[in-house]
């Protein structure tokens, strides 16, 4: 006869967020990036025989990942490049797409996130929220004032959805003039035109861009046309002091913690 246990047993979290602590874990995030960007989205990446997305910025970044505890599977990742380490990397990644002169006038510390992706089998709100909680914990623990990065919009439809999103951004979410950046390759006009008889549809917002906007980030001008990744990149800037109040307690609470064992990229 089996014994009955009263009450609920402690449950392991479905997902946990931490920094890659070994070169092998960094490599695993780079392979996930390759599978998503090249394998799924068709980006032109020379990943070699092993299918690895890496560039000159990786060795200077800290690689944040969401892990499924039961299996150890990495299901999402992003990389963080801080203002302290960016000079050694030759600048921020976003500077390859935009003129970022306006950053020089921003007071306080800043960090960039990039190469953010989620395994297609795990694209749930829980995974995205876990990743952002890790980012927020880093901001809180390290005392950063600004977060920025490129949010990508796919161009598979010829650019119709991207231009619809950009119209929405221009109307509601643009940064002030003094925080604007200039794309080196502006997004061209869309090939797509809505049929006159069809009612307008709400654009499909990519999860990363949606998360930026929900937190109160602003778009700093027109999009960059990334031809290798077949997407439009929007430069997003979040002033941590202006974080939307409804998200501030959840994402930037006093108890925010994250494992601080970053590893250099392989």
Instruction: Provide the pLDDT for residue 192.
Output: 53
The whole domain housing 159 covers: 16-251
Rg, C-alpha atoms of the chain: 19
Q: Dihedrals φ, ψ of 59, to 5°?
A: -65, -15
Is 150 domain-assigned?
Answer: yes
Residue 10, pLDDT score: 52
For residue 256, tell me if it sits in a domain.
Answer: no
Give the 3-state secondary structure of the chain. CCCCCCCCCCCCCCCEEEECCCHHHHHHHHHHHHHHHHHHCCCCCCCCCCCCCCCCCHHHCEEEEEEECCCCEEEEEEEEEECCCHHHHCCCHHHHCEECHHHHHCCCCEEEEEEEEECHHHCCHHHHHHHHHHHHHHHHHHCCCEEEEEEEEECCCCCHHHHHHHHHHHHHCECCHHHCCEECCECCCCCCCCCCCCCCCCCCCCHHHHHHHHHCCEECCCCEEECCCCEEEEEEEEEHHHCCHHHHHHHCCCCCCCECCCCCCC
CATH number at residue 62: 3.40.630.30
Q: How many domains does the chain have?
A: 1
The whole-number pLDDT of residue 55 equals 95
pTM of the entire predicted model? 0.85
User: What does each of the 266 residues of the chain score in pLDDT, given as a tens digit?
Assistant: 444 445 554 566 789 999 999 999 999 999 999 999 998 888 888 888 889 999 999 999 999 999 999 999 999 999 999 999 999 999 999 999 999 999 999 999 999 999 999 999 998 788 988 999 899 889 988 999 999 999 999 998 888 999 999 999 999 999 999 999 999 999 998 665 554 444 456 788 998 999 899 889 999 999 999 998 899 999 999 998 887 666 655 555 544 455 444 443 43
Measured CA to CA, the distance from residue 256 to residue 136 in angstroms comes to 7
pLDDT of residue 245: 65
- Residue 42 inside a domain? The answer is yes
Q: Is residue 5 part of a domain?
A: no
Examine residue 265 and state whether it is found in any structural domain, yes or no: no
Domain contains 152: yes
Residue 261 counted as domain residue: no
**257 assigned to some structural domain:** no
């Amino acid at each position: 006869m089996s014994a009955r246990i009263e009450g609920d047993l402690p449950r392991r979290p479905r997902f946990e967020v931490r920094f890659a602590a070994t070169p092998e874990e960094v490599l695993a995030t780079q392979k996930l990036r390759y599978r998503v960007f090249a394998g799924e989205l068709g980006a032109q990446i020379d990943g070699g025989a092993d299918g690895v997305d890496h560039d000159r910025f990786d060795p200077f970044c800290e690689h944040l990942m969401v892990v499924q505890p039961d299996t150890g599977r990495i299901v999402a990742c992003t990389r963080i490049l801080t203002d302290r380490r960016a000079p050694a990397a030759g600048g921020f990644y976003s500077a390859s797409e935009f003129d970022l002169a306006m950053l020089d006038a921003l007071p306080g510390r800043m960090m960039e996130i990039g190469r953010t992706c989620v395994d297609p089998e795990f694209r749930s709100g829980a995974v995205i929220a876990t990743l952002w909680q890790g980012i927020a914990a880093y901001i809180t623990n390290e005392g950063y004032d600004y977060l920025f990065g490129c949010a990508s919009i796919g161009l598979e439809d010829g650019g119709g959805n991207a231009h619809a999103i950009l119209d929405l951004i221009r109307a509601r979410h643009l940064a002030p003039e003094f925080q604007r950046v200039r794309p080196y390759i502006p997004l061209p006009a869309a090939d797509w035109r809505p049929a006159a008889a069809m009612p307008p549809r709400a654009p499909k917002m990519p999860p990363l861009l949606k998360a930026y906007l929900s937190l109160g980030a602003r778009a700093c001008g027109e999009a960059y046309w990334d031809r290798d990744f077949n997407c439009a990149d929007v430069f997003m800037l979040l002033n941590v002091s202006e974080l939307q109040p409804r998200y501030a307690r959840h994402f930037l609470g006093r108890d925010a913690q994250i494992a601080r064992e970053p590893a250099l990229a392989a």
